[in-house]
Amino acid sequence: MSTRTVLHEADIARALTRISHEILESNKGPEGLVLLGIPTRGVTLAHRVGALVAEFGGAPIPVGSLDVTMYRDDLHRNPTRAPQPTQIPAGGIDGKVVVLVDDVLFSGRSIRAALDALQDIGRPAAVRLATLVDRGHRELPIRPDFVGKNLPSSRDERVNVRLAETDGVEEVTIES
């Protein structure tokens, strides 16, 4: 088994900076944006991106979390998971541009579950997807709007994202 680092600390920082600029550019400014991170590391990234977008865009950006455990389509295949909190910022999501933030995009099923969860919470004007790593192998017709790094991988490789707040180090590795 070998492990390769594909993103170092500086790479991650640059990727998040670029994503933040792209969000502002596509939205033509900070108005109406709400970032919702998908637990666990998506939430950390959402807060970072939110801070960066606020800095570049000159306005505070509401950031929250969206747990998708209850909406997964593979619950009966795995042992029961405890859900994480869903925190929708004050102001809600109705009429807003919701940017879902996740660390790794793979089959796309988490994002499908997130779309279902959003539907039960309110009616955003639009939903966009930002992901730090896109490793391919989509099983559903879902594509990201903002990507940190495209990482071709084989199915049985493991992509691990570690962030300072949760893991003490900053790196993205791929294990085969």
Partner 1 sequence: MRHLLDTQTLSREDALRILDVAEDMADTQQREVKKLPTLRGKTVVNLFFEDSTRTRISFEAAAKRLSADVINFSAKGSSVSKGESLQDTAQTLQAMGADAVVIRHGASGAPRTLATSGWISAGVVNAGDGTHEHPTQALLDAFTIRKRRFRDDSRGRDLAGVKVTIVGDVLHSRVARSNVWLLSTLGASVTLVSPPTLVPQDMSGWPVEVLYDLDEAIAAGPDALMMLRIQLERMNAAYFPTEREYSRRWGLDARRLQGLGADSIVMHPGPMNRGLEISAEAADSPRSTVLEQVANGVSVRMAALYLLLAGAERTPAETTSTADAAAADGTAKENTR
Residue numbers of the site for partner 1 (CB under 8 A)? 39-41, 67, 70-71, 74-83, 85-86, 102, 104-110, 116, 119-122, 158-160
Nearer to partner 1, 75 or 164 (CB): 75
Tokens representing 44 are 């950390």
Nearer to partner 1, 41 or 48 (CB): 41
Nearer to partner 1, 56 or 115 (CB): 115
Of 174, 175, 170, which is closest to residue 15 (Cα–Cα)? 170
Residues sharing a CB contact under 8 Å with residue 117, sequence separation 6 or more, in sequence order: 66, 67, 68, 70, 71, 86
Of 91, 36, 99, which is closest to residue 68 (Cα–Cα)? 36
Question: Smallest distance, Å, CB 123 to partner 1?
Answer: 9
Percent of the chain that is helix, strand, coil (3-state, to 5): 35, 25, 40
Nearer to partner 1, 53 or 128 (CB): 128
Question: Smallest distance, Å, CB 46 to partner 1?
Answer: 15
Question: Smallest distance, Å, CB 38 to partner 1?
Answer: 9
